[in-house]
Amino acid sequence: MLGGRVIITGTLLSERPRANSMLVALMGILTILLTSQLCWRDPALYLEWAAVPAEVNENGEYYRLFTALGVHADAPHFLSNALLFGFFSYLLYGYFGFWVFPIGSLILGALTNYFSLLTYPPEIRLVGASGVVYLMAGFWLASYLLIERSKSIGRRIMHAVGVGLVLLMPNAFDPVVSYRTHVIGFVLGTAGGLIYFVMNRDRIRAAEKIRFESESPFEDYPENPGTYVS
């Protein structure tokens, strides 16, 4: 019996993102811009919305874990996060839907802030969307490695490492940047991507496009009756 192999020619990630993915990404950027502008205009609001260990852990002001995601110290801080936030928002909503972004991303983003605050002194203020940006990056890269089987595992690893180095590695050390929040976010996002894949494996695999390639050079061309062997 002649054998062959199955070749995966397309996956869930080979399709175009949802039609309104760009709109959702722009709305996300505008939301954090509006939040930041309100805080720039009113310093009291900045203090009220920043994530502070003492206020969160001792006073139970857990809303700060969410509001801090939209608060930025200044315009350069906002711009440093906005592009990647929009990029990964576009991808996560476009391919995985509303429950991954914004719902799941915001919940895990708040959890990222919570774990990060546990490592800081009580009076520190933590603000910015970089934690959730690294979270979304971890989710996307883990999903890419698991889903995009139209490419070899070696190529997937090279692409993931390349994207991670180009987009996520800092160009210089800045003492006011919470790099531990980046790491925590990336780890939680990667874990989230793995869990999502396990829970949705059948649906993800069902979206794959495949073709069968015969091992026989003649079996693929049954319409050709003029081929003979001796």
- Contact (CB, 8 A) for 181 and 126: yes
3-state secondary structure of 214: strand
pTM of the model: 0.89
Q: Report all structural domains of the chain as residue ranges with CATH numbers, in order of start.
A: 7-214 (1.20.1540.10)
Name residues whose C-beta falls within 8 Å of residue 221's C-beta, 6 or more positions apart in sequence: 227
Full pLDDT tens readout for the chain, 230 residues: 456 788 999 999 999 999 999 999 999 999 999 999 999 999 999 999 999 999 999 999 999 999 999 999 999 999 999 999 999 999 999 999 999 999 999 999 999 999 999 999 999 999 999 999 999 999 999 999 999 999 999 999 999 999 999 989 888 788 889 999 999 999 999 999 999 999 999 999 999 998 887 665 555 545 544 433 33
Integer Cα distance of 15 and 11 in angstroms: 7
Token pair, residue 192, equals 């989230």
DSSP class of residue 211? E
The torsion angles phi and psi of 90, rounded to 5 degrees, stand at -60, -45
Neighbours of 71 (CB within 10 A): 27
| Inter-residue contact 133 to 185 (CB < 8 Å) | yes
The answer to whether residues 85 and 28 touch, using CB atoms and an 8 Å cutoff, is yes
Over the range 1-19, which residues count as b (16 or more CB within 10 Å of their CB) and which as e? eeeeeeeeeebbbeeebbe
Question: If you search the block for the tokens 């260990």, which residue do you land on?
Answer: 53
* Nearest to 80, CA basis, from 128, 38, 43: 128
